[in-house]
Amino acid sequence: MRPELAHLWVYLQTTPLLGLGATLLAYQAAVAISRKLGGHTLANPMLIAIGLLVGLMLLTHTPYDVYFQGAQYVQFLLGPATVALAVPMHANLGQIRRSAHAILPAILAGSVVAAGSAMLIARLLGASPEVVLSLAPKSVTTPIAMGISEQIGGQPSLTAVFVLLTGIAAIILVGPVMRLTRITDWRAHGLAAGTAGHALATARVLLLNETAGAFGGLAIGLNGLITALVVPLLARLFAGF
């Protein structure tokens, strides 16, 4: 690198502009790439943007801390965005009230089974405790999952990856599992997709049936709340082993 370029690079590393600009540019590029690929579920813009940034950091030997100086301003908005989930939830309040007697037990059961079995299987297969804890909140929407992960001593960035893998698994599995268990009710279909596979699986069932989509949306929010309460208890249970 020529000396003046090296100086410029040293300067840029001290300002938040580098990480902030890189995040926004990488995301715009990722959205464009995802559109080129026909918006396929696996061509998720978040995953592509993360891949681009990880590649960039490895190539330029930029430490994550330097990147995060700028990226933290984007990350900060995750808090208010989580609070904002209350608005779509409020719009579904009528539907929640009407079938609360079935919805709440179903989501609670799904939440405990999904989180508990993931932790148990990972533990039995010899995953490190950090990975087991990062897996626990993987079924809920990313901002809530990352908050839970941080709280119980997991790695929020690992959790973000696990959340995405879970969504992909749910997209692949939702059809076969519903056939195998002979579930014909679209409300049950949607609720399961939203509970076990958050927004990714909900988007998938929405293509099949609108009622399923509405119940999926409902499940994303409620499961976020329920899992936030359930997972710290499960984590405490696991720490006893």
Partner 1 sequence: MLRSLTILIVCQFVGEVIVRVTGLPLPGPVLGLVLLLALLMLRGGPDEEMKSTSSGLLRHLLLLFVPAGAGVVTQLNVLGRNLPAAIVAIGVSTALGLAVTAWVMQRLTRGPST
Q: Which of 8, 165, 237, 239 binds partner 1 (CB under 8 A)?
A: 165
Q: Check residue 54 for interaction with partner 1 (CB under 8 A).
A: yes
User: Which residues between 101 and 130 bind partner 1 (CB under 8 A)?
Assistant: 101-103, 105-107, 109-111, 113-115, 117-119, 121-122, 125-128, 130
User: Which residues between 85 and 104 bind partner 1 (CB under 8 A)?
Assistant: 85-90, 93, 99, 101-103
Q: Among 69, 45, 223, 52, which residue's Cα sits nearest to residue 137?
A: 223
Distance (Å, whole) CA 131 – CA 102? 33
Distance (Å, whole) CA 138 – CA 201? 13
Q: How far is the CB of 7 from partner 1 (least distance, A)?
A: 25
Residue 12 or 211: the one with the smaller Cβ distance to partner 1 is 211
Residue 238 in tokens: 């696991």
Place of tokens 């997991």: 154
Q: How far is the CB of 154 from partner 1 (least distance, A)?
A: 11
User: Which residues between 197 and 236 bind partner 1 (CB under 8 A)?
Assistant: 197, 211, 219, 221, 224-225, 228-229, 232-233
Residue 3 or 240: the one with the smaller Cβ distance to partner 1 is 240
Its sign, for the CA torsion 37, 44, 54, 6, is positive
Residue 90 in tokens: 């409020």
Distance (Å, whole) CA 205 – CA 189? 8
Q: How far is the CB of 134 from partner 1 (least distance, A)?
A: 9
Distance (Å, whole) CA 67 – CA 24? 12
Name 15's Cβ contacts closer than 8 Å, sequence gap at least 6.
Answer: 69, 70
Residue 12 or 44: the one with the smaller Cβ distance to partner 1 is 44
Distance (Å, whole) CA 96 – CA 101? 9
Q: Check residue 158 for interaction with partner 1 (CB under 8 A).
A: yes
Q: Check residue 40 for interaction with partner 1 (CB under 8 A).
A: no
Q: Which of 142, 202, 217, 218 binds partner 1 (CB under 8 A)?
A: 142
Tell me the C-alpha to C-alpha distance, in Å, between residue 79 and each of 72, 152, 168: 12, 18, 25
- Which part of the chain contacts partner 1 (CB under 8 A), choosing from 1-9, 10-18, 35-43, 60-68? 60-68
Q: Check residue 29 for interaction with partner 1 (CB under 8 A).
A: no
Binding mask 1-20 for partner 1 (x = CB under 8 A): ------------------x-
